[in-house]
């Protein structure tokens, strides 16, 4: 791992790890709300019970956050996980009604909390581009 990757990995990893830990013991009401929100964008998730969904989401966030924070996890692997995760979040932003102004990518007040996740996608893209560049330079 390059030292220049540390700020992006620490910032995103700590954020995602905290998010996962905060969901670890979610109440049934919280689980139902998160599950309902997710199923609006991803209807196949309706087949998963709300509490199991939130437990799996929490576990995935904890694992991704830890992977970003632990220096022996290769940046390419951690960044690929971050890209997939942020892609899922941006999918929520694009698919859930009321997140964006009609006919626009501009967020509404309700969508601002998710629209900010574009920064996670940007971090993932930067880390992946840098690891690709380094691989090409080495060959």
Residue 35 scores a pLDDT above 90: yes
Categorize the per-residue pLDDT at 88 as very low, low, confident or very high, splitting at 50, 70 and 90. very high
The range of the structural domain enclosing residue 11 comes to 3-133
Q: What percent of the chain has pLDDT over 70?
A: 94
Domain count, the chain: 1
Categorize the per-residue pLDDT at 134 as very low, low, confident or very high, splitting at 50, 70 and 90. low
Helices 50-69, 75-95: axis angle to 10 degrees equals 140
Q: Which range among 89-93, 116-120, 131-135 shows the weakest confidence by mean pLDDT?
A: 131-135
Q: In this predicted model, which residue has the larger pLDDT, 2 or 40?
A: 40
Please report the pLDDT score of residue 138 as a whole number: 60
- The residues with which 107 forms a beta bridge, in sequence order, are 100
Q: Which range among 16-20, 44-48, 128-132 shows the weakest confidence by mean pLDDT?
A: 128-132
CA-wise closest residue to 60 among 116, 17, 12, 6? 17
The answer to whether position 119 is within a domain reads yes
Residue 1 scores a pLDDT above 80: no
**Euclidean distance between CA atoms 110 and 100, whole angstroms:** 8
CB atoms under 10 Å from CB of 116, counted, come to 12
The answer to whether position 95 is within a domain reads yes
Residue 52 scores a pLDDT above 80: yes
The answer to whether position 139 is within a domain reads no
The answer to whether position 138 is within a domain reads no
């Amino acid at each position: 791992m390059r030292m220049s990757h540390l700020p992006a990995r620490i910032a995103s990893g700590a954020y995602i790890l905290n998010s996962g830990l905060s969901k670890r013991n979610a109440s049934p009401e919280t689980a139902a709300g998160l599950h309902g929100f997710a199923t609006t964008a991803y209807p196949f998730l309706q087949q998963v019970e709300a509490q199991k969904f939130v437990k799996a989401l929490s576990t995935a966030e904890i694992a991704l956050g830890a992977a970003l924070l632990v220096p022996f996890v290769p940046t390419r692997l951690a960044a690929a996980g971050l890209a997939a995760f942020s892609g899922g979040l941006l999918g929520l932003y694009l698919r859930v009604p009321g997140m964006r102004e009609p006919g626009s990518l501009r967020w509404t007040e309700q969508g601002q909390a998710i629209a900010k996740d574009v920064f996670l996608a940007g971090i993932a893209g930067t880390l992946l581009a840098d690891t690709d560049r380094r691989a090409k330079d080495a060959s």
